[in-house]
Amino acid sequence: MIELPKLILASASPRRSEILSSVGWEFTKHAADIDETERPGELPAPYVERLAREKAEAVAASYPDSIVLGADTTVVIDEQIIAKPVDLDDARRMLRLLAGRWHEVLTGVAVVRSETTISSVESTRVKFAEMSDAEVNFLAMRGDPLDKAGAYAVQAQAALFIEGIEGDYWNVVGLPVKLVFDLVMKRPGF
């Protein structure tokens, strides 16, 4: 029998909370307040890993004896980071860009324990079906896109238009929980 140690989740994401709860992981939420601006020339994978580390380390300063988990997710297509849309028109633009194509979902995950940080990045490929303007509008209006990287939630209305997923489904939802498990449980004493 294993025992999952309690975590401090350095995130306000309801999806990350739902994923941890669904696997029975006890945690407390403490959202990190960091600058998420991309640095000039920063590539997508190092970008999400840096943000995950910065979130975890910012929150860990308040919880020196705890295990703190930070994460950041983005969508990448044509080597371009597709973050959260600024409004519904931006969401429609993103969905049109993704329609009929494969893209990558990257999540940086960082764990801080005893002032030491370890981190990694999970990558999952997702393919959207071709979508008509009416379908794009439906997803923008009904899919609650404004707080989601790439303007969609795979576990909600976007599921109607997903043709394929290669890799970790939970990564696309917002937290690759197997990677979290590996970092927390299989790297003792880091």
Q: Catalytic residues, which ones? A: 72
Instruction: Provide the 8-state DSSP code for 12.
Output: -
The interaxial angle of helices 133-142 and 88-98, nearest 10 deg, is 130
The two three-digit tokens of residue 20, written as one number: 């941890």
Distance, CA of 70 to CA of 8 (rounded, Å): 9
Q: Are 113 and 159 in contact (CB under 8 A)?
A: no
What 3-state class would DSSP assign to 188? coil
Contacts of 5 (CB under 8 A, 6+ apart): 67, 184
Contacts of 101 (CB under 8 A, 6+ apart): 77, 127, 128
Count the Cβ atoms, other than its own, within 10 Å of residue 166.
Answer: 11
Distance, CA of 1 to CA of 30 (rounded, Å): 29
